[in-house]
Amino acid sequence: MTMTSCSRPVTRHSFAIDRTGGRHRRPGRPRRLARLTILATVLALLTASAMPGTARGAPSPQGRLSWPLSPAPSVTRYFEPPSTPYGPGHRGVDLAAAPGANVLAAAEGVVMFAGQVAGRGVVSIDHEGGLRTTYLPLAPTVTVGDQVYRGQVLGTLVAGHPGCPGPACLHFGVRRGEEYVDPLALIGEPSEIRLKPWEGDP
C-alpha cells in the first residue's frame, strides 16, 4: 500500500516568507503601539522641561517684599489682625536685631512720612499696588518725597520698642489700602499657626 503524504491547507498566517527563504513576523499593531508609547514619553519629557518647575533646587520667585533687616531676622511677635478697624491686635511683625542695625526698604517706593510719632522715629513708604510699609522705631536718614529702591537704608534701628525681648526690635507693618496685612505673607514666610481650643473640649 502506498502512503501519500497529506499537506495542511494553506491559510493566512502571521508569518511571511522572505526572499532568502526565512520567515519573519509581519509588522503589526504591537510594534506600532510601542513606537507610539516611546513618542508619547518623549513628548511628555519635553513638555515638562519647558514648563517652570517646582522641583527641589529650582529657584523660588522673589517675594513682593524683602526683609527690612539683613541678614533675615528672627520674628519675636507675629501678625495678629484686629477684629475691627480700631480693635486690639498686632498690626505687623516684630523682628529682633541689634541697636544701630540698618533698616532697609522692603521694596521700591516713595517716602510718605519720616519723623517722630509719640517720641519714636517712624518711616512710611508707598509702593505700587496700593501697599504701604511702616518701620519703627528708627533714626530716619530719608525725608518725605524721597524715592527709594529695594534694600536702600532708611535709617538705623533704636532700642525701646515695647515688649521686645531683646536689645532692640523693629516693628514692620504693611497696609493694602486701609487694611493691615501680614508682612510675612508678602515676604513668603509662613506665619505662626495658632490653634484655638475646640468648643466641644471639656
Residue 47: predicted pLDDT: 39
Burial of 91 (0-12, 13-18, 19+ CB in 10 A): middle
Q: What is the pLDDT of residues 48-75, one digit of tens each?
A: 333 333 233 333 344 689 999 999 999 9
Residue 193: predicted pLDDT: 45
Residue 197: predicted pLDDT: 45
CATH class entry, domain 75-187: mainly beta
Q: What is the pTM of this model?
A: 0.63
- Supply 31's cell numbers: 510594534
Write 124-129 long-range contacts (CB < 8 A, 24+).
Answer: 125/154, 129/64, 129/176
Torsion of Cα atoms, 124 then 144 then 121 then 127, to 10°: 10
Residue 80: predicted pLDDT: 85
For the chain, the 3-state helix, strand and coil shares in percent, each to the nearest 5, are: 15, 30, 55
- Supply 196's cell numbers: 484655638
Residue 113: predicted pLDDT: 98
Domain ranges of the chain: 22-47, 75-187
Which residues of the chain fall short of a pLDDT of 50?
1-7, 10-22, 24, 42-62, 193-202
Burial of 145 (0-12, 13-18, 19+ CB in 10 A): exposed
